[in-house]
Chains A and B, each alone.
Chain A
Amino acid sequence: MLIFFALLLLLLVTSPRLRVYFRVTVVEAQLVRVSPDGVQSEVPLPQQLRRVVSPTQSPVAVMADITRHVRSSLQMRIGPEPQVPGMSLKLIFRYADNSSILDHQQEVTLLADGTEQ
C-alpha cells in the first residue's frame, strides 16, 4: 500500500512534464554592448538564441534560458568581446505570449563578466 501511494505521488509530481502544446511562446533576443561613454552596438548572437519558439515554456522561462546561455558563454571567455572596465551588455527581448505578434519587451543588463546587474 505504501509503494502504491509513493508511486502515485511520483506520478502526480511529475505530471506537469506531460503537458504538450497548451501554450506557445516566441522570444527574439538581441545582445547590445554599451561602452563606458554610452555608445551602443549590437553583438551577434548564435542563431539558436536569436529566436526561440517554445510550445511548453512561459516567456519568463525562455528568457531565463537565453540569459543563462549568454552568461555562461561570457563567463567561459568565449564571449563576443574582451572585458573593458565600465562596459556592460544588454539583452533586449521582444516576445509573444500565446500569439505570434512580438508585442512585449524586456531588458536584462549584464556586466562584462556575465554577472547580472
Chain B
Amino acid sequence: MPTALSSNASLIQGGWRQGLFAPIAPTAAALLRITLAVVLIVIFWNNPGPLTHSLSQIPIVERFYANGVLTPAYGWLTVGLSIALAVGWRPRLIGPILLILLLPLACGSSQRQSRQVLLFTLLAFSFVRSDAKWSIHWDITAQPAFSAGPIWPLRLIQLQLSVLYGVNALAKTTTEYLSGQTLVAMSQVLPNFLIDLSDGNWHLGPLAIPAALLAVASVITEYVLAIGFWWRRFRFFVAAIGIVFHISLTWITTIHMLDWAAMFLYLAFLLPMASPTDLMRDGRVDNGARYDETASGEKSQPEDAVQSHGHRAWP
C-alpha cells in the first residue's frame, strides 16, 4: 500500500511539474506575442472615456489622466512599444514598460473588462523568454532556442480564459437571470441591446424563443467555455462553440471589445504551446535556467530531466 501511495504522489508531482514547467514551443510563443501586440494596439487605441468615479476624486490623478494619458503623444508611444513587442525587441523589458503605460488607459469607464484581460495577458507574457529566430536582437550570432522558457505564464493566460467565462457564468446563475427576467429588463433599458424581449420572447422570423431559454443556453455555454478547453481532445470543438457564441451575441447586444479579447485568448489553447515533441515525449521540464544559450550561441543541454511516465498531455 505505501508503495502505491508513493507512486501516486510521484505521478501527481510529475504531472504538476510538467504542467507548469514544460518548455514552451518558441514558434507558438512568438505567434502569441505578435497577435497580442496587434490586439493591444486595436483595443487600446480607442479613447478609454472618463476616469472611474473613485479615481476621479483625486485631482492630481485626473489632471495627469487628462493632460498626459489622453494625449496623442502618449498614444503613439504605446503604439511604438507595441510594435517593438511584436517584432520581439527585448520583450521581457518592453512588456513591463508597456504594461505600466497602458495601465492608466484601463482605468477609464469604457472597455474596462477587455483592457483588464489584455493587461493581465501582457503581464503573464512578460515572463516568457524570446527566441532569436522570432525576434529582432543585436547579437547576430545568437541561435534559435528550442524553448521560450517554462510554460507557467501561458498556463496563467489559459486560466484567465476559464476565469473570465467562469465568473460570468457564476454571476448569471441566479433565479432572476435564468428565468429570463434580467434579459427582458436589459432589452428594455440598455441602449446597446439590439433586440426587444419585452413580451418575454425573441422573435426570430417565425420563431418565438423564450427569454428564459436564451438565458439558460447562454449560461450553459459559458460554463462549457470555462472548463471545456482543458480537455485537449475537444479544444477545437469548444473554440468553435465559443466563436459561434460570440458571433450570436453580436446580434443581441454590443459588448464592445470583450468578445475579441476573449476569442484572442483561445490562441493560448489552440496554438501548439507544448515544447518540441521529443522533449514532451520524454516529459522534460524547463526550470527557467537550463536552456539558456551560452555566450558562443550554443545551447546548453538540460542538466536533468524529470520523467513523467504515464502523465496525460496538458492542453
Contact = CB atoms under 8 A, between A and B. Distances in A.
Interface of A: 1, 3-4, 7-8, 10-12, 14-24, 26, 53, 55, 65, 68, 72, 96, 98-100
A19 B57 CA distance: 24
Interface in B179-232: 181-182, 184-186, 188-190
A56 B155 CA distance: 28
Contact of A18 (B53, B116, B190): B116
A63 to B, nearest CB: 13
17 contacts: A1-B20, A4-B20, A4-B156, A11-B120, A11-B160, A12-B163, A15-B163, A16-B167, A19-B168, A20-B168, A24-B189, A26-B185, A55-B186, A55-B190, A72-B57, A96-B185, A98-B182
A71 B82 CA distance: 42
B186 A7 contact: no
B164 interface: yes
Given A16-B167, A23-B174, A100-B184, 9 more contacts: A4-B155, A14-B120, A18-B113, A19-B167, A19-B171, A22-B168, A23-B182, A100-B185, A100-B188
B236 interface: no
Nearest to B192: A55
A20 B163 contact: no
B44 to A, nearest CB: 17
Main secondary structure of the interface of B (DSSP, over half): helix
Given A23-B176, A100-B189, A4 B152 contact: yes
B123 interface: yes
B229 to A, nearest CB: 16
B246 interface: no
Contacts of B134: none
A15 B120 CA distance: 11
Contacts of B291: none
Interface residues of B, number: 37
B124 interface: yes
Interface of B: 20, 53, 57, 112-113, 116-117, 120, 123-124, 127, 152, 155-156, 159-160, 163-164, 166-168, 171-172, 174, 176-177, 181-182, 184-186, 188-190, 253, 255, 258
A31 B167 CA distance: 37
A103 to B, nearest CB: 12
B189 A7 contact: no
A21 B253 contact: yes
B56 to A, nearest CB: 10
B99 to A, nearest CB: 12
A18 B163 contact: yes
Given A20-B255, A55-B186, A7 B123 contact: yes
A68 B160 CA distance: 34
A18 B253 contact: no
Given A22-B168, A99-B185, A100-B185, A11 B255 contact: no
